[in-house]
């Protein structure tokens, strides 16, 4: 089965300049900026794990379209990893303990690789790809989630979201081709959910400690309000998250073309031409 029946995948080789990005780039709100920066710490190591787990099963993929989608998936994730490496270099230069956090994520994934079979690792990848697709859908569908953000960071997160949403079904379809079943899919999602949110909370604490906002009621309330009240990005993801546990679930049921069309036009007109920022 084709992963993207309505949208052909494309590797957009964008390169972003972080030289002029302000420290609290999300409208001056430090805790919300830290939340996005927190996610970025995961991506380089995580993207490499995703690529490896999908490639490990390429031999069982017979569908020609799906094989092409796997190649595009790996290309998109590779560019994401490169740009988030550069993003994380900016955070490192600002004094955040990025290297220590990345090493902890790397060790966690190494333990996961030792304890789980290669197909179970692919199940974890499917679960985390579902997370990124849901977050991407929120960023693309609700302008308020990046309202007031620095233009470079808005463009980066919109670009990343476009491609995450486009390739949301690739790992899942490879998992099915590899014989992955319902019960395994559910327990790997529960495992991935627990580990992911524990790490997110831990890293948010570390980043806010560095910002000296760890005990700021104002900053914590701003973050809680942003995530769960208005615009409530995470609150709105609860039902789509639970849909993963339906026996007939498939991430590609919704057409991606309409959701990504507007953000693609915005990106094309924002100074990024053929994958590179115009001088």
Domain that holds residue 189: 30-271
Determine which of 103-107, 212-216, 262-266 has the lowest per-residue pLDDT on average: 262-266
- Is there a domain that residue 141 lies in? yes
- Is there a domain that residue 41 lies in? yes
278 pLDDT exceeds 80? Answer: no
- Is there a domain that residue 25 lies in? no
Q: How many domains does the chain have?
A: 1
The whole-angstrom separation of Cα 248 and Cα 244 is: 9
Mean of the per-residue pLDDT values for the chain?
93
What average pLDDT does range 127-141 have in this prediction?
Answer: 95
- Is there a domain that residue 23 lies in? no
Bridge partner residues of 247 (DSSP):
none
Torsion angle of C-alpha atoms 171, 172, 174, 178, degrees rounded to 10: 130
Q: Two tokens at 203?
A: 């890293």
The whole-angstrom separation of Cα 10 and Cα 6 is: 13
Q: How confident is the model at residue 29 (pLDDT cuts 50, 70, 90)?
A: very high
55 pLDDT exceeds 60? Answer: yes
| pLDDT at res. 254 | 78
| pLDDT at res. 208 | 98
**Angle at the Cα of 40 from the Cα atoms of 36 and 44, rounded to 5 degrees:** 170
Q: How many helices (H) and strands (E) does the chain have?
A: 10, 2
Number of CB atoms found within 10 A of residue 22's CB: 12
The whole-angstrom separation of Cα 47 and Cα 33 is: 21
| pLDDT at res. 2 | 47
List, for residues 58-69, the tens digit of each pLDDT value: 999 999 999 999
What average pLDDT does range 4-32 have in this prediction?
Answer: 88
List, for residues 108-129, the tens digit of each pLDDT value: 999 999 999 999 999 999 999 9
**Crossing angle of the two packed helices 151-166 and 256-268, in degrees rounded to 10:** 150
| Percentage of the chain exceeding pLDDT 90 | 86
- Is there a domain that residue 103 lies in? yes
Q: Where are the alpha helices (DSSP H) in 56-93?
A: 64-93
**Crossing angle of the two packed helices 30-55 and 217-224, in degrees rounded to 10:** 50
- Is there a domain that residue 235 lies in? yes
- Is there a domain that residue 222 lies in? yes
The whole-angstrom separation of Cα 116 and Cα 256 is: 32
- Is there a domain that residue 224 lies in? yes
The whole-angstrom separation of Cα 85 and Cα 87 is: 5
| Percentage of the chain exceeding pLDDT 70 | 94
Q: 3-state SS of the chain: helix, strand, coil percent to 5?
A: 70, 5, 25
């Amino acid at each position: 089965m084709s992963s993207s029946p309505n949208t052909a995948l494309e590797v957009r080789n964008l390169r972003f300049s972080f030289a002029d990005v302000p420290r609290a780039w999300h409208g001056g709100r430090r805790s919300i900026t830290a939340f996005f920066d927190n996610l970025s710490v995961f991506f380089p190591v995580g993207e490499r794990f995703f690529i490896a787990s999908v490639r490990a099963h390429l031999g069982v993929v017979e569908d020609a379209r799906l094989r092409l989608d796997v190649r595009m998936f790996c290309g998109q994730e590779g560019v994401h990893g490169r740009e988030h490496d550069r993003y994380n270099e900016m955070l490192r230069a600002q004094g955040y303990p990025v290297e220590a956090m990345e090493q902890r994520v790397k060790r966690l994934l190494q333990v996961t690789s030792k304890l789980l079979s290669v197909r179970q690792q692919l199940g974890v990848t499917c679960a985390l790809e579902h997370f990124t697709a849901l977050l991407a859908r929120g960023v693309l569908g609700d302008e308020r989630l990046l309202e007031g953000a620095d233009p470079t960071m808005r463009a980066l997160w919109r670009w990343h979201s476009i491609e995450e949403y486009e390739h949301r079904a690739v790992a899942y379809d490879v998992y099915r081709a590899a014989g992955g079943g319902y019960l395994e899919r559910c327990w790997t999602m529960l495992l991935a959910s627990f580990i992911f949110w524990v790490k997110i909370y831990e890293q948010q604490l570390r980043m806010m400690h560095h910002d000296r906002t760890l005990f700021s009621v104002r900053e914590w309330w701003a973050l809680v309000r942003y995530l769960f009240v208005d615009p409530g990005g995470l609150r709105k993801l609860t039902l789509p998250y639970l849909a993963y546990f339906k026996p007939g679930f498939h991430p590609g049921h919704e057409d991606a073309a309409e959701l990504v069309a507007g953000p693609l036009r915005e990106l094309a007109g924002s100074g990024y031409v053929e994958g590179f920022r115009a001088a």
